[in-house]
Amino acid sequence: MVAVKETVEQVKEIEVDQYKYGFVTDIEMDMAPKGLNEEIIGFISAKKNEPEWMLEWRLDAYRRWLTMTEPNWAKVGYPPIDFQDLYYYAAPKSDKEGPKSLDEVDPELLRTYEKLGIPLQEQAVLAGVQGARIAVDAIFDSVSVVTTFKEELAKEGVIFCPLSEALQDHPDLVRKYLGTVVPISDNYYSALNTAVFSEGSFVYIPPGVRCPMELSTYFRINEAQTGQFERTLIIADKGSYVSYLEGCTAPMRDENQLHAAVVELIALEDAEIKYSTVQNWYPGDAEGKGGIYNFVTKRGDCRGKNSKISWTQVETGSAITWKYPSCILRGDNSIGEFYSIAISNGMQQIDSGTKMIHLGKNTKSRIISKGISAGKSSNTYRGLVSAHRKASNTRNFTQCDSLLIGDKCSAHTIPYIEAKNSSAVFEHEATTSKISDDQLFYCLQRGIGEEEAVALIVNGFCKEVLQQLPMEFAVEAQKLVGISLEGSVG
């Protein structure tokens, strides 16, 4: 396996820390002052030249947020966050006017993306592996830098652009759908996001269109003490299909950085959305210093009949992850899926899982969760499967497998089941295992080194989920599995 080999090489190249993306780009920034108040929100809204209703919506969210308290039910612990000590808006200065093409983008920024391995240059993508064409929207701190393949997508009627641009060009579409899946006061972090989000991606697939390429967003937090609050909205109209990829990185820093995103997916009748994430935010150092707090609300609404939403996530980064990509199965016969690999090492804490809310008849859901804990980390799967009393013939299958490496880490599985309709068939299977000494010995006896052996075995353990990822991401994800477990054995 090429990926496993490369993993070992990459691990060797990393000198100071295992975090491969830990570099800071030196670009002049345009920032709002520290702190959070109505003026800052007004500043962000004005920067984005937003319509009045948008500002009102933000302020409404802010006022509700002030009355809310941070959730404390998750199995994670961290010192209180001082929300006044953060920057809520940061934009690379050279991008003030917004670049129209790659030539206008700060070359330093392009180099950053190059280091991240993003196929930002369309030529590079075209020259790449056959079929490896991906449209990319790259988001740097608060600002979207460039969206590739825009014109080609436009031919199909697909809209893929920064949310701020969609607000200018397609305000009615945005207004119709934004906030309809995750309401303002859904939770503490989503309310905060609504108040201050500064960028995100917008996708609209018209009826009957199968999106001709994978759409992708890369998020990167660069500026110190900056929160990233991006907001993604994807609408698949009747009978359409889209596959969307999200990747994230951040530089190494001593202080913790907050990331509180909201993602809303809407699938209308017969439509399908496949949403994949490879999350590799900086996890902090071995002592638990620094790293990203990843407090994210992701929710999909299978609004139409026979619609389908599928979440696939590979979570390897962040100091703390608090994340439950969910499906509301509203339309009859709709299908929700959740495939997850969550790897925690060092001092990382993960509390992640999904919610499958069965509202429609004959709705089906499937949950495959693979949790891998190493080091002194804590890894919790938390899931809810529920059936409304009017939802007849619903089905769910849940499989939660935990793998422990070493004896200082922990894994927890917390499934909640609420079937209010007696015809519901919900199945739950869970296993916990350790990497066996026999498996390791077998690999070592064949000459495979310890790090590579662990990566190989763990990739095998995760195979069912890795298979769900689009090809390019699967290779990247396999490498990440190895990198994130570096130093976990021996």
| Integer Rg of the chain from CA | 22
Q: Where are the alpha helices (DSSP H) in 170-291?
A: 171-177, 188-196
Three-state secondary structure call for residue 236:
strand
The least distance separating other proteins from the CB of residue 481, rounded to whole angstroms, comes to 12
Which residues does residue 244 pair with via DSSP β-bridges, in sequence order?
A: 215, 275
Phi, psi of 201 (to 5 degrees): -110, 150
Contact 218, 187 (CB under 8 A): no
Q: Can you read off the two tokens belonging to residue 109?
A: 């920024």
Q: Which residues contact 233 (CB under 8 A, 6 or more apart)?
A: 163, 166, 174, 177, 178, 200, 201, 202, 203, 263, 264, 266
By the 10 Å C-beta count (0-12 exposed, 13-18 middle, 19+ buried), 416 is classed as exposed
Which C-beta is closer to other proteins: that of 68 or that of 444?
Answer: 444
Nearer to other proteins, 128 or 183 (CB): 128
Task: Report helix angle 450-461 to 471-484, nearest 10.
Answer: 130
Residue pair 355/323 in contact by the 8 Å Cβ criterion: no
Q: Which is nearer to other proteins, 196 or 462 (CB)?
A: 462
Are the beta carbons of 264 and 234 closer than 8 angstroms?
A: yes
Smaller CB distance to other proteins: residue 38 or 464? 464
Rounded CA separation 173/51 (Å): 14
For residue 110, how many C-alpha atoms fall within 13 Å in the half-sphere facing its CB?
16
Closest approach of other proteins to the CB of residue 40, in Å: 48
CA atoms within 13 A on the CB side of 417: 18
Shortest gap between Cβ of 406 and other proteins (angstroms)?
16
Shortest Å, Cβ 453 to other proteins: 8
CB of 2 to other proteins, least distance (A): 8
CB of 61 to other proteins, least distance (A): 44
Give 254 or 464: the residue with its C-beta nearer to other proteins.
464
Nearer to other proteins, 91 or 456 (CB): 456
Least distance in angstroms from the C-beta of 258 to other proteins: 35
Measured from the CB atom, the residue of 184 and 466 that comes closer to other proteins is 466
Tell me how long the chain is.
490
Structure tokens at 58: 């933000």
Distance (Å, whole) CA 471 – CA 478: 11
Question: CB neighbours of 221 closer than 8 A, spacing ≥ 6?
Answer: 141, 228, 250, 251, 257, 259, 281, 292
Q: Nearest approach, Cβ of 261 to other proteins (angstroms)?
A: 31
Nearer to other proteins, 53 or 441 (CB): 441
Measured from the CB of residue 490, what is the shortest distance to other proteins in angstroms?
10
Q: How far is the CB of 434 from other proteins (least distance, A)?
A: 14
Could you tell me which residues are beta bridge partners of residue 205? 236
Token pair recorded at residue 410 = 């922990």
- Identify which of residues 125 and 462 has a Cβ nearer to other proteins in the complex: 462
Please give the residue ranges that form the binding site for other proteins (CB under 8 A): 1-2, 4-5, 436, 438-439, 441-450, 452, 456-457, 459-464
Determine if residue 208 is left, alpha or beta; phi over 0 gives left, psi from -120 to 50 gives alpha, anything else beta. left
Which one, 240 or 468, has the nearer CB to other proteins? 468
**Helix (H) / strand (E) containing 473:** helix 471-484
Cβ 3 to other proteins shortest distance, Å: 10
Measured CA angle at 54 (ends 41, 247), to 5 deg: 75
Between the two ends of the chain, the Cα-to-Cα distance in Å is: 23
| Least Å from the CB of residue 379 to other proteins | 19
User: Based on CB atoms, which residue is closest to other proteins, 4 or 273?
Assistant: 4
Q: How far is the CB of 416 from other proteins (least distance, A)?
A: 28
User: What's the CA gap between 219 and 261, in Å, rounded?
Assistant: 11
